[in-house]
Amino acid sequence: MVSEFLLRICQSYSVFLGVSSYFRVSKNYRETWLTRGYVLVVNALTLSLLPLVFWLSAQYVRIASWFPNLLTYTTYILYTVSYATIAYTLISRSCRDKALLEVDRIVQRLNRRIAQDVRIGQSVGSRLGHLHSLKLGSVLFVCVASLLACLTIPNKPKLSVLLCVFLYSNAKNIPLLAVYRYYLALWDIACCYKYLNKQLAQLLHLDRGIQDTPSRRQLEQLQHLWMLHSLLTCCTQRLNKIYGLLMLAARFDNLAFFAINTYWGIVFSFSVKAPFYVTLFGASNYYVHLLDFYLLNFICDQTMWYQSVIRHSLSEGHWSRELNAFVLYVCTSKLDFWVCGLYKVNRRSWFQMQISIITFSILLLQFHLLHNKKYTL
């Protein structure tokens, strides 16, 4: 399929940038001594060369004749937050890889269980399928835009400038691809929860009713599905804990990116007669980034919904002691995607972040106008 081919390209690009040393072969993750050594070398080069690249890029933005007189510190803030996020992403790579492998083992276990029925990937439904395609499209768009960013620079910059822009744009994709791997793990988990809910509904005959006393076979199947549900929940909680600091760093990175780029975009639009393709490129890249971060929050909501939806439908069937115990378990194991105990990853937090972006952008514009003496208090 086209989506599988594009996903393979995205994963290969992740290995190329040093986001992970694992590549996918026959739907299983593999690591070789060659990929492990290559990623270590790439990570070391990235961490050592990026400060120089960011410094040169900041100096070029400050003195470029085609760019308006921006507040200088905004460039340094953006590049400092970006480097801190990239550095943490690369340093914590091995811990995230172990957690993702654990999720993959559970998903493969469920795939083997339902091999005689239908694969999870083919029964995800339209909602999850569209989410997967939309997220993959947004990530690929940002990656391609990063590769082409140097072509949108007006005038004829030096080769060193083009190289700095190229390295900076690709380095910015490192947290993006790391978070995308987290998104894929949550997507797989949501698919597994949906399958378990379907199996539980079929087991209990919610649409046709059930006999007064569950049979031994039904009890054994219920216990097995209960075990898989518990294993999946524990794995999800561990994955969320390991990715907590990365999600916090990614939130600060996105907050700085959106707030500062909103300020840059407004000033650039009203102060510079730029070619239309440059404006279109910048606006498209900005809004796709915005969509990409929203989809991450959306999949967290979907995962929590699929994890707890079964308790609402179980009440429609015949009640039993075993069923009562399972419902109590589901109610007490509700997922909450807390980030280091500070906030939850969901659509509500995404909208709260947009309010913060608007607020910070207005403050930057006010400082910009004061700096250029366009009005006084």
Query: Which 3 state secondary structure label does DSSP give 56?
Result: helix
Residue 82 structure tokens: 């970006």
Query: Which 3 state secondary structure label does DSSP give 25?
Result: strand
Q: Express each pLDDT in 10-40 by its tens digit.
A: 888 888 888 888 776 656 677 788 888 888 9
Interatomic CA distance for residues 39 and 268, integer angstroms: 38
Q: Considering the chain, what is the average pLDDT of its residues?
A: 78
Query: Do 97 and 20 contact (CB within 8 A), yes or no?
Result: yes
Q: What residue spans define the domains of the chain?
A: 2-206+214-371
Interatomic CA distance for residues 108 and 374, integer angstroms: 62
pTM of the complete model: 0.84
Q: What is the dihedral of CA 81, 86, 91, 94, to 10 degrees?
A: 130
Q: Express each pLDDT in 68-119 by its tens digit.
A: 677 778 888 888 999 999 999 998 888 888 878 877 777 777 766 655 454 4
Report phi then psi at 343, rounded to 5.
-160, 165
Query: Which 3 state secondary structure label does DSSP give 118?
Result: coil
The pLDDT assigned to 294 comes to 92
Amino acid at 218: Q
Report DSSP letters for 65-107, one per residue.
TTS----HHHHHHHHHHHHHHHHHHHHTHHHHHHHHHHHHHHH
Interatomic CA distance for residues 204 and 221, integer angstroms: 10
Which residue, 355, 357, 354, 337, is CA-closest to 346? 337
